[in-house]
Amino acid sequence: MKESGEAAQNSPAGFSRRSFIRVGAAALAGAMIPGHALASGFWNRDRALAFYNLHTGESLKTVYWAEDQYVPEGLQAINYLMRDFRLNLEVPIDRNLLDLLFALHYELDTTAPFDLISGYRSPKTNAMLHAHSEAVATNSLHMYGMAADIRVPGRNLANVHRAAVKLRSGGVGYYPRADFVHVDVGRVRYWGAAG
């Protein structure tokens, strides 16, 4: 979206529309997760995530937010681990998804890494998976780096599902037969077997 010079001059305090959206998004990042996760200082601490990619065997533990800013090396490491491993393609993983996973880890009160079943999926991979399963959406948020299919060692899958629903931060799909929970940062909605 191109920004006109006139819009930038007429906006409050000299903010352009793009700057205003960036500032607003940063302010809302913490508001995305209701409940105790918003306790004083929760979003100000260093934010780290740990994963084990079940398809590639790769492990990662990295800080992606520190000293009031995102850590580029941590973000890049997450982008790589959550890549479409079939085509070796990566995209920037949505930072709201990272914050959702961070809050979910806190909610589950665990230090175990997330078992990652699926992160980013290219349109080609998504179409191939959709052709084999009606459970794969044609316009899946996985294609935008906004979704992850996960489980957590040492935590019952039903508890992972309940914790994700409690956060009310996007879509939550429950797949007990396939042994994973889908989380995304789209609109709030739920599907799958009751947990």
Q: What angle do CA 115, 123, 71 make, to 5 degrees?
A: 50
CATH number of the domain where residue 152 is located: 3.30.1380.10
Q: Is the pLDDT of residue 37 over 50?
A: no
C-alpha–C-alpha distance, residues 56 and 105, integer Å: 22
pLDDT (mean) for 12-21: 38
- Say yes or no: 116 and 95 in one domain: yes
Could you give the number of structural domains in the chain? 2
- Say yes or no: 25 and 44 in one domain: no
Q: In 11-122, where does DSSP find H-type helix?
A: 17-29, 72-81, 95-108
- Say yes or no: 134 and 181 in one domain: yes
Whether 181 and 157 have beta carbons less than 8 Å apart is answered as yes
According to DSSP, the residues that pair with 28 across neighbouring strands are none
| Tens digits of residue pLDDT in 94-143 | 999 999 999 999 999 999 999 999 999 999 999 999 898 877 888 899 99
pLDDT (mean) for 68-91: 97
Which pLDDT band holds residue 10 (cuts at 50, 70, 90)?
very low
- Say yes or no: 27 and 49 in one domain: no
Output the pLDDT for position 137: 85
Which amino acid would we find at residue 96? N
- Say yes or no: 68 and 78 in one domain: yes
- Say yes or no: 27 and 89 in one domain: no
Which pLDDT band holds residue 39 (cuts at 50, 70, 90)?
low
- Say yes or no: 133 and 182 in one domain: yes
| Residues contacting 89, CB < 8 A, separation 6+ | 83, 120, 122
- Distance of CA 112 to CAs 8, 52, 151, 168, Å? 46, 10, 10, 22
pLDDT (mean) for 41-51: 89
Mean pLDDT across the chain: 83
Which residue segment(s) compose the domain that 1 sits in?
1-32
- Say yes or no: 21 and 68 in one domain: no
3 state DSSP class of 172: strand
